Amino acid sequence: MDSLITQRDSVNSWMFRYGVRFGIYKNGEFKEQIFPFDAIARKISGREWQRLERGLIQRVKALNLFLNDIYGDKKIVKDNVVPEDFVYSSKGYLPFCEGLTPPKNVWSHISGIDLVHGKDDEWYILEDNLRIPSGASYPLIAREITRNVSPETFENNAICDNRNYAQLLKNMMEYVKKDGINVILTPGRYNSAYFEHSYFAEKTGAILATGQDLYVEGDKLYYKTIGGEKQLVGVVYRRISDEYLDPMVFNSDSLIGVPNIMQVYKAGNVAIVNAPGNGVADDKGIYYFVPKMIKYYLNEEPILKNAPTYLPFYEDDKKYVLENLRRLVIKDVAEAGGYGVIFCEKLSDEKFNEIKNLVISQPRRWIAQEVVDFKELPIFEGDRIVERKADLRAYVISGEDTVVWKCGLTRFSRNPDSFIVNSSQGGGFKDTWVMDN
């Protein structure tokens, strides 16, 4: 590892060379930023990984079954395991998908599961991302570069190769697709993850298209090529969220979507990766029920734990939350990422009472969690090593099989006082080494 650390500047210059960036909007202007890479990798032992792997596969299988059930028979609601309320008033629930079955019955093809490693050595799931989880390209390209810059590091350590990610994506697309070519649909270069869209297109051999390059004729989707030739499209790995996907069905102002693509999907002539409607399974309210889903659908005990969570929707939980609010984290169910997360410990009395009243008046809107004291990881700050909070996003690919990519995105916070490691709020990333032992 030492040689890699001394070479860390060359790693960053290679990242620059490949244009490894993410875009952000500051004061209404689009800017591309380097996503800072920290050379000290997070190591996960082979044994520990095996347990994580089993737990993640179990969780994603249950979530896929949940989605299939919710837009189908709704057994879990009828059996009162998940209250109706949490399904039908979820922003991510799409009535359009009622009665629909995606090709090969896969809903969440690419799941980004966020975990933290507690000081008690237990891994806790923080969040499921079943819509458009991004970020896998960063550790993927980082590995390519670090292997190049410091081959001895990889000779001397038994580190599982992570460079099969594009192949995993491709296999999955080939499995779910209908007749036609593979397309990655991007909102365009001014999207924060554009680098990733184009990188995956290069690595999977799919066509990178914008909404304007695709069109619907009847119940088929086509890619427009020069000279008026049309190519039938069989699978769309879309990096556009549900609400912008089809202006005929969802947000009518959307200029980045493909008009009537949902009719093609409904007719079963194209696979959409991930399936529309997944938002109902990854919101912060449904999160509470995932361990129950695992028992319900798989008849298994959950291998990985949720962070201890309470739903003020239930009277008992509400009572507990109000009594212990000062030490809890409150999350707004409707918000995504690091937004709408409130650490009550740090609030002024006035703000605290405001939140307390909101929990009382709108119990459905919130979940409350114990603050998980998670492990810190060493990072470089200049030439100094400091400790910072870090999480892990694991990527689970569901095609013919459900597999966990032997790597992940380890993100750390810049700010020593912050628990929030979301890349949209600053911070950097590390490689994640799954050890082969």
Partner 1 sequence: MNSFISTAKANRLFWLARYVERVFISLNAIRKYIDTDIDGATNAYREFCAITSIPNNYTDAKDFRKKILYDKNNSASIYSMLINAFDNGIELREDITSESLSYIHLALEIMEKCAAENAKIFALQPIADYMMSFWGSIDENVITLTKMNILRLGRRLESLDMNLRLRTNWDYINEILKGGVLTNANMLSSVTDNAKILRLKELIESHHGENHGEDFSEIIDCINSLFTAKI
Partner 2 sequence: MILEFEQKSVSRFSQPVKNHAFLLRCKPYENIIQRLVSFNAEISGCNMIFAQKDSFGNNVIFSNINDYHDSFTLKTSGKVEVLETNKDTFLNPIFCYPSPLCIWDNEMADFALKCSNSNIEDTVKKICNFVNNRIKYKTGTTCVSTNSLDAFTIGCGVCQDYSHVMISMLRSLKIPARYVAGYVKGLTVSHAWTEVYYDGFWHGFDATENSSQLDGYIKIAIGRDASDCPLNRGIFVGNVSETVEIEIKVKE
Q: Is 206 helix (H, G, I), strand (E, B) or coil?
A: coil
Q: Are strands 309-310 and 366-370 parallel, antiparallel or unpaired?
A: antiparallel
Collect all residues with Cβ–Cβ distance below 8 Å to 123 and sequence separation of at least 6: 52, 55, 115, 116, 117, 304, 305
CB of 196 to partner 1, least distance (A): 11
Instruction: Please list the alpha-helical segments (H only) found in 205-287.
Output: 242-245, 261-266, 284-287
Tell me the closest approach of the beta carbon of residue 291 to partner 2, in angstroms. 24
Are 4 and 152 in contact by the 8 Å Cβ rule? The answer is no
Under 8 Å CB-to-CB from 355, ≥6 apart: which residues? 325, 330, 342, 344, 347
Q: What is the number of alpha carbons within 13 Å of residue 11 lying toward its C-beta?
A: 28
Could you tell me which residues come within 8 angstroms of residue 203 by beta carbon, excluding any fewer than 6 positions away? 165, 166, 169
Q: Which two tokens stand for residue 137?
A: 């390209």
Which of 58, 102, 101, 92 has its CA nearest to residue 274? 102
Question: CB 34 → partner 1: shortest distance, Å?
Answer: 12
Total residues interacting with partner 1, rule: CB under 8 A: 27
Task: Choose the stretch contacting partner 2; rule: CB under 8 A; options: 82-90, 188-196, 312-320, 372-380.
Answer: 82-90
Q: How many residues bind partner 2 (CB under 8 A)?
A: 26
CA dihedral (268, 273, 277, 279) in degrees, to 10, reads 170
When CB distances are held under 5 to 8 angstroms depending on the partner's kind, the choice from partner 1, partner 2, none that residue 26 binds is none
String marking each residue 35-74 x if it binds partner 2 according to CB under 8 A: ----------------------------------------
Residue 282 CB neighbour total at 10 angstroms? 25
Could you say which residues in the range 202-231 bind partner 2, by CB under 8 A? 215-219
Residue 305 contact among partner 1, partner 2, none, beta carbon within 5 to 8 Å by kind: none
Tell me phi and psi for residue 376, to 5 degrees: -100, 155
Q: According to CB under 8 A, which one of 2, 6, 9, 16 is a site residue for partner 1?
A: 16
Of 125 and 168, nearer to partner 1 (C-beta) is 168
Q: Is 25 in the site for partner 1 (CB under 8 A)?
A: no
Q: For partner 2, which is the closer residue by CB, 225 or 252?
A: 252
18 or 88, CB closer to partner 2?
A: 88
The footprint of partner 2 on residues 233-262 (CB under 8 A) is: 247-249, 252, 259-260
Q: Which residue has the tokens 């918000």?
A: 335
Under rule CB under 8 A, which residues in 167-226 are in contact with partner 1? Answer: 181-182, 189, 194, 198-199, 201-202, 205-210, 212-213, 223-226
Residue number with CB closer to partner 1 (144 or 317): 144
Residue 151 interacts with, from partner 2, partner 1, none (CB under 5-8 Å by kind): none
Q: Could you say which of 26, 27, 28, 95 contacts partner 2 (CB under 8 A)?
A: 95
Task: Name the binder of 157 from partner 1, partner 2, none, CB < 5-8 A by kind.
Answer: none
* Helices (runs of H) and strands (runs of E) counted in the chain: 15, 21
Cα dihedral sign, 111-116-121-124: negative
Q: Which helix (H) or strand (E) holds 357?
A: helix 349-361
> Which of residues 9, 85, 120, 155 is near partner 2 by CB under 8 A?
85
Which positions from 98 through 127 interact with partner 2, judged by CB under 8 A? 98-100
How far apart (Å, rounded) are the C-alpha atoms in residues 308 and 245? 35
28 binds partner 2 (CB under 8 A): no
Which residues between 227 and 266 bind partner 1 (CB under 8 A)?
227-228, 231
Task: Please select the residue that binds partner 2; options are 8, 203, 266, 414, rule is CB under 8 A.
Answer: 266
Least CB distance from residue 137 to partner 1, whole Å? 11
User: Cα(429)–Cα(437) distance, rounded to whole angstroms?
Assistant: 24
Residue 267 interacts, among partner 1, partner 2, none and using kind-specific CB cut-offs from 5 to 8 Å, with partner 2
In this structure, is the dihedral angle defined by the CA atoms of residues 374, 377, 382 and 384, taken in order, positive or negative? positive
Burial grade of 219 (CB within 10 A; 0-12, 13-18, 19 or more)? middle
Which residues bind to partner 2, rule: CB under 8 A? 77, 84-85, 88-89, 93, 95-100, 215-219, 247-249, 252, 259-260, 263, 266-267
Which residues bind to partner 1, rule: CB under 8 A? 16-19, 181-182, 189, 194, 198-199, 201-202, 205-210, 212-213, 223-228, 231
